[in-house]
Amino acid sequence: MTPLLPRARVVKQIARYGGDILTHAAMQGTKNFPHHGQTSVFAHSVAVTYLCVALALRLRLHVNMRALVRAALLHDYFLYDWHAFDGGEHRLHGFFHPGRALKNARADFALSPIEENAILRHMFPLTLIPPRCREGWLVCLADKICAVCELAAPAYLRLAAPVAERLARKAPPQAGGASSSFHA
């Protein structure tokens, strides 16, 4: 990935808190939805998660690591191909997909208020209301960095997805309610 980031520690956090999401059938289905350039929604979501966790660890931020991982994985859980016209149903995707992602995520997973806010506000400043938690700001920032990387250098962060997924399958997913504050 990048020499800036401690890869094993980052991937361990993703597998620990996001294993059930990564292996969920609907999330697996996002591999079939193209996102930026040649990157799938799945690979993008994992890359955003990777960067969020890496930044939190590197900067020693006081974050709820479980909420950060889960919100980052689910921030684009809108579950359709936004490039397809589909009768105009996905017009203004940029504005409306956070709400759609939140609705789908709520249906499939139990979300905390931090996770909900981070998913709903990740498109700030395109959508006008900013996140109100540190985790939300991290998702918002990492999302933009990854989008640029994926468009400019497609192979750069895409490598995170298979690594994280492989580890997620090995690590037993953590049951809900274990949201503990993380302090590196």
Site residues (CB under 5 A) for Fe ion? Answer: 76, 143
CB of 170 to Fe ion, least distance (A): 26
CB of 119 to Fe ion, least distance (A): 9
- Asked whether 39 and 82 are in contact (CB, 8 A), the reply is no
CB of 123 to Fe ion, least distance (A): 6
Residue 70, sorted as left (phi over 0), alpha (psi -120 to 50) or beta, turns out to be alpha
**Smaller CB separation from Fe ion, 108 or 174:** 108
Q: Can you spell out the DSSP letters for 14-79?
A: HHHHHHHHHTSHHHHHGGGSB-STT-BHHHHHHHHHHHHHHHHHHTT-EEEHHHHHHHHHHTTTT-
**Smaller CB separation from Fe ion, 76 or 135:** 76
Q: 């990157």: which residue's tokens? A: 39
**Smaller CB separation from Fe ion, 104 or 174:** 104
**Smaller CB separation from Fe ion, 66 or 122:** 122
Q: What DSSP character marks residue 87? A: G
CB of 50 to Fe ion, least distance (A): 13
